[in-house]
Amino acid sequence: MPRYPAAHAGHLAYSGGSARAGSLHGLSPGGHWAFAFSFRFRMSTPASALTGISLVLSAVLFFALLDSSSRYVSGVIPLLVALWVRYAIQTAMTLLMIRRQHPYWLPSSQNWPWQVARACCYILTSGFAFLGLRYIKVAEFTAIASIAPIIVSVLALWVLHEKLPPIRWVLLGLALAGTLVIIRPGGMAFEWVLLLPLAQVAANVLFLLITAHLSRYDDTLTTHLYTGLIGLVVVSVVLPFFWQHLAGIHWTHWLALAGGGLAASIGHMLLAQAYRHAPATVLMPYLYAQIGFAVLLGWLFFGTIPDTLSTLGILMIAASGLAGALMNWRKPA
């Protein structure tokens, strides 16, 4: 029986089933690109597919709002405090969802070691994203973060012992080249902080691969809960040793931080519903709309737009992801 997504930040969504039956796809926001472990036996009517597409577009808008809020508060609110608030909101909302569906609060996991490993990767992914957005514009960070699912797609085919068509390598090379165009190593504008999104991508690749593995053992709501809960416990233990005074932080920053956590949770729910209406192969191209939303919100909230070279890099990454998504969409069932 397929497991439908409760996506995650990653903004992660997947459907479970036999590994031989399907393939890996993915996309997500600055540190939170959605990931779909999908299978081709699901069918949808045109009306249902349209509903799924509308939900996906709404979800990635909320993910872009999350990244914009992170950029707004990252220079004022300490990292560990921001992570604590985000994990607390995620855990509370997931508990409420579980309670609505089941008579218990804490479901059991069938694979605790991998749940802990996923939560650790989530902390790294969220932390690198929060720090990266302190220095890098939302649009550029979102584009760089989007190469993680492209890498995972290639790795998945390799793990499943499927022959990789040359076009897959070309698309991966295009995405990596786009990343280099954005960060411009060796250029006058290059700084060490531009390595933060690359660190986030590395952590996110591990996060997505572990998530696909966990889908064999636990449903998505259980995994979503324990990723946030374990993250909350870890940060709660570490936070007192790195406590910083919070006096003088304007209430708008706290509001933005809480709003970002809420936006992430709403985005996860919308994405989960989208995969109930249409398969990932239909929805994947529309996930890349998040890059457009990131550009728009960066201009509205911060008055920033990517320069010419960054725009070129963003387009290269988006083209690579869209081409890969369309290849999956056109594959026969």
For the stretch 50-104, pLDDT in tens is 888 888 889 889 999 999 999 999 889 999 999 999 999 989 988 988 888 777 7
Tell the residue number behind the tokens 């919308």, with chain if given.
Answer: 270
DSSP symbols for 142-182: HHHHTHHHHHHHHHHHHHTTPPPPHHHHHHHHHHHHHHHHH
Between CA 220 and CA 225 the distance in angstroms is 8
Give me the residues paired with residue 22 across strands: 39
| DSSP strand pairing (33-39 vs 22-28) | antiparallel
CB 287 within 8 A of CB 278: no
DSSP-based three-state secondary structure for 26: strand
Between CA 257 and CA 267 the distance in angstroms is 15
Q: Which two tokens stand for residue 308?
A: 């010419």
* Per-residue pLDDT, 77: 92
DSSP symbols for 190-237: --GGGGHHHHHHHHHHHHHHHHHHHTTTS-HHHHHHHHHHHHHHHHHH
* Per-residue pLDDT, 91: 92
Between CA 273 and CA 6 the distance in angstroms is 8
Between CA 29 and CA 36 the distance in angstroms is 14
Rg (the chain; Cα; Å): 19
* Per-residue pLDDT, 37: 40
Closest-CA residue to 190 (of 310, 80, 91) = 310
Between CA 25 and CA 37 the distance in angstroms is 6
Block means of pLDDT (10 residues each) for the chain, 333 residues, are 34 33 37 41 61 87 92 91 93 88 82 93 92 88 82 72 74 83 64 82 86 83 89 94 86 93 85 76 77 89 86 87 72 50
Environment class of residue 324 by beta-carbon count within 10 Å: exposed (0-12), middle (13-18) or buried (19+)?
buried
DSSP-based three-state secondary structure for 317: helix
Q: Which two tokens stand for residue 57?
A: 């577009």
Q: Which two tokens stand for residue 247?
A: 């006096």
* Per-residue pLDDT, 256: 94
* Per-residue pLDDT, 41: 36
Length of the chain: 333
Give me the residues paired with residue 25 across strands: 36
Between CA 104 and CA 95 the distance in angstroms is 9
* Per-residue pLDDT, 92: 92
